[in-house]
Amino acid sequence: MLNLRQKFGKFGEDLAARYLKKMGYKVLCRNYRTRFGEIDIIAKDADTIVFVEVKSRRTLTFGHPKYSITHKKQERISKTALYYLKENGKSNCRARFDVVTVNSADKKSDVEIIKNAFELAYK
């Protein structure tokens, strides 16, 4: 059973996936989990594998969702992405990290794609 926060997160991810499809992306996988972390959506945009972090907010009290991805979170996403590429024999493919924000602060949901939101980050 999902709590209210988890339901809103799932709502945001569903909305993001639909928006990505509308923008021409092909969704390959959702909620990809490894021991390193999780990637919300893995998609393909033309010839590029895109690792997508979805950030949803009901209010802007704590700032816009695009500013909430810490360097530590970027490291976890990066390690998980590298694992995905290796596991699927796609180590030589073009890849990038996008962020999709869902802002539901004003009763309607605004969706924004930030392409190349961050570079590969790991220690």
Per-residue pLDDT of 59-79, as tens digits, reads 666 666 666 788 999 999 999
Q: How far apart are CA 97 and CA 74, in angstroms?
A: 9
56 or 95, which is more confident?
95
Residues 6+ apart with CB under 8 A from 89: none
The reported pLDDT for the residue numbered 22 is 96
Three-class DSSP category at 96: strand
The percent of residues in the chain predicted with pLDDT above 90, rounded, is: 63
The full set of domains in the chain, from first to last, is 4-118 (3.40.1350.10)
Q: How far apart are CA 62 and CA 103, in angstroms?
A: 12
Q: How far apart are CA 74 and CA 118, in angstroms?
A: 8
Categorize the per-residue pLDDT at 102 as very low, low, confident or very high, splitting at 50, 70 and 90. confident
Per-residue pLDDT of 5-15, as tens digits, reads 777 678 889 99
